[in-house]
C-alpha cells in the first residue's frame, strides 16, 4: 500500500534560502540534502512571512518587567511579538498536518530553548528562552516532535527525533474510535518506552487504562503528549537491546525459530559494541521478514532516511577527524558550496573524503 511521505516543517534558512535579516542563510546539510531528498519538507521563514522583508533590521527578545517582547534591535518601540504569534494561527492548517519540525537554533523567532533574553535596562543577557514563533507552534501542537539543527546533527538525537516523528505520524492517521487499532498503537508505543525505562511503560499504561473508556479529544491529546514527552529521553545501548529483544520475542512479528535466533544474535553484537545501531537497523531492513510488519522498533522509520543519514554522519565523522590543515581546506571549499546555496555540497563532500 502507498504510504504518504513523512512531512516535516523547517526554518527556511536551513535549506540555504537567503531569508535571514542580513540576506544570508544557514544551510544545513542534514536538513537540506539528507531530509530534503527523503521526506517532504514545509519551509517557513516567520520573519519574512509577516512582511519584515530581506534584508531587515534584526530583532531580539527583551525582558521588560514580567513581560518578554520581540523588538527591533535598533528601535525598542518597534515590536513583532503579536505578528509572530499570529502567524502560527494563520498557518494552523499546515502546522497540524506536520509530523515534526526542525527549527533554527538561537533565533528570536525560531529558537527552541537557547535564545538570549536581554534585560531592557542593563542590556545584559538574563537567561535563555524560546523564540516567539517556535513557542506558538509548540502551544498549538504540543505533541509535535521538534528539534533544532544543532542538536539534530548528533546521531542519537537524530535517531530519537525520527523515531518520534514516525510514531506521531502513525498516531495522526490512527482511527481513534477503533479501540483495537488504538490498543495496537499503545502496545507499539510501550515497546519504544521499554527502551527508556519500565517506569515509563507503567506510567503510560496507567494513563491508557484510565482513559480507555473516554476517547475524547482531550484524553487523546493528553495521551499522545505524554507519550511524545517520555520518548524524548534517549535510550542507552542496553535499553535499545532490551526493547528489540522484547519485539523479537513478543510474537508481534511472525518469525521462524531460525530468523528469531539470527535477530537475537545481531542484537547481542550491538549490545556488545561490535556493531552500531544504524548497522543493526540496516541488517534488520535487509532481513527477509522486514516487510511483514512496518513501523516498529526494528524498522522505526523509512530505510532511505536511515541510509542517507548514516552516510551523512559517516562523512561528518571523517571530516571532523581530518587534520587541521585539511579541514580548513575543506571548510573553505564548503564555504563556497554554501555561498551557492549548497547546490554542490554533495560533490564537495565526496571530494573531501579523498583528501
Binding range to ligand SF4, per CB under 6 A, among 40-48, 85-93, 204-212, 277-285 = 40-48
Can you list the positions of beta strands (E) in the chain?
Answer: 7-11, 40-44, 59-64, 67-72, 100-103, 115-119, 125-129, 146-148
| Contact yes or no for 264/245 (Cβ under 8 A) | yes
Distances (CA, A) of 150 to 50, 83, 147: 25, 27, 8
Please report, as residue ranges, which positions from 287 to 326 form the binding site for ligand SF4 (by CB under 6 A): none
d(CA 343, CA 339): 9
Among 30, 110, 132, 193, binds ligand SF4 (CB under 6 A): 110
The x, y and z cell numbers of residue 40, run together, are: 517532504
Minimum CB separation of residue 154 from ligand SF4 in Å reads 20
Nearer to ligand SF4, 150 or 234 (CB): 150
Nearer to ligand SF4, 117 or 174 (CB): 117
Binding range to ligand SF4, per CB under 6 A, among 5-13, 247-255, 262-270, 320-328 = 5-13
Minimum CB separation of residue 20 from ligand SF4 in Å reads 4
Q: Is 104 in the site for ligand SF4 (CB under 6 A)?
A: yes
Q: Is 109 in the site for ligand SF4 (CB under 6 A)?
A: yes
Nearby residues of 303 by Cβ (< 8 Å), 6 or more positions away: 282, 285
Kindly state the number of chain residues that form the binding site for ligand SF4, as judged by CB under 6 A. Answer: 13
Site string for ligand SF4, 7-26 (x = CB under 6 A): ----xxx-----xx------
Please report, as residue ranges, which positions from 45 to 74 form the binding site for ligand SF4 (by CB under 6 A): 45-48
Give me the phi and psi of 305, to 5 degrees please: -65, -45
| Contact yes or no for 188/163 (Cβ under 8 A) | no
Three-state DSSP at 264 gives: helix
> Where does this chain bind ligand SF4 (CB under 6 A)?
11-13, 19-20, 45-48, 104, 107, 109-110
Amino acid at each position: 500500500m502507498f504510504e504518504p511521505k513523512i512531512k516535516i516543517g523547517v526554518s527556511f534558512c536551513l535549506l540555504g534560502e537567503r531569508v535571514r535579516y542580513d540576506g544570508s542563510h544557514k544551510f544545513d546539510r542534514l536538513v537540506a540534502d539528507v531530509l530534503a531528498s527523503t521526506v517532504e519538507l514545509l519551509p517557513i521563514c516567520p520573519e519574512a512571512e509577516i512582511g519584515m522583508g530581506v534584508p531587515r533590521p534584526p530583532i531580539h527578545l527583551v525582558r521588560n518587567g514580567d513581560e518578554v517582547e520581540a523588538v527591533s534591535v535598533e528601535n525598542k518601540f518597534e515590536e513583532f511579538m503579536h505578528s509572530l504569534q499570529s502567524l502560527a494561527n494563520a498557518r494552523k492548517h499546515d502546522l497540524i498536518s506536520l509530523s515534526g519540525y526542525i527549527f533554527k537554533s538561537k533565533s528570536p523567532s525560531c529558537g527552541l530553548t537557547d535564545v538570549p533574553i536581554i534585560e531592557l535596562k542593563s542590556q545584559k543577557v538574563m537567561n535563555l528562552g524560546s523564540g516567539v514563533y517556535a513557542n506558538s507552534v509548540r502551544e498549538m501542537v504540543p505533541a509535535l516532535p521538534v528539534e533544532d539543527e544543532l542538536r539534530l546533527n548528533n546521531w542519537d538525537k537524530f535517531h530519537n527525533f525520527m523515531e518520534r516523528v514516525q510514531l506521531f505520524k502513525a498516531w495522526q492517521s490512527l482511527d481513534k474510535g477503533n479501540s483495537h487499532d488504538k490498543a495496537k498503537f499503545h502496545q507499539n508505543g510501550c515497546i519504544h518506552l521499554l527502551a527508556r525505562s519500565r517506569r515509563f511503560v507503567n506510567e503510560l499504561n496507567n494513563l491508557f487504562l484510565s482513559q480507555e473508556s473516554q476517547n475524547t479529544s482531550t484524553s487523546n491529546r493528553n495521551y499522545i503528549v505524554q507519550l511524545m514527552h517520555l520518548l524524548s529521553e534517549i535510550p542507552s545501548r542496553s535499553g535499545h537491546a532490551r526493547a528489540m529483544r522484547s519485539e523479537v520475542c513478543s510474537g508481534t512479528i511472525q518469525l521462524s525459530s531460525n530468523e528469531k535466533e539470527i535477530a537475537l544474535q545481531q542484537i547481542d553484537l550491538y549490545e556488545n559494541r561490535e556493531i552500531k545501531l544504524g548497522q543493526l537497523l540496516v541488517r534488520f531492513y535487509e532481513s527477509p521478514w522486514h516487510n511483514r510488519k512496518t513501523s516498529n522498533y526494528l524498522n522505526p522509520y523509512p530505510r532511505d532516511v536511515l541510509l542517507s543519514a548514516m552516510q551523512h554522519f559517516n562523512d561528518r565523522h571523517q571530516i571532523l577527524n581530518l587534520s587541521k590543515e585539511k579541514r580548513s581546506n575543506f571548510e573553505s571549499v564548503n564555504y563556497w558550496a554554501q555561498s551557492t546555496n549548497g547546490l554542490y555540497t554533495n560533490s564537495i563532500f565526496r571530494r573531501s573524503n579523498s583528501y
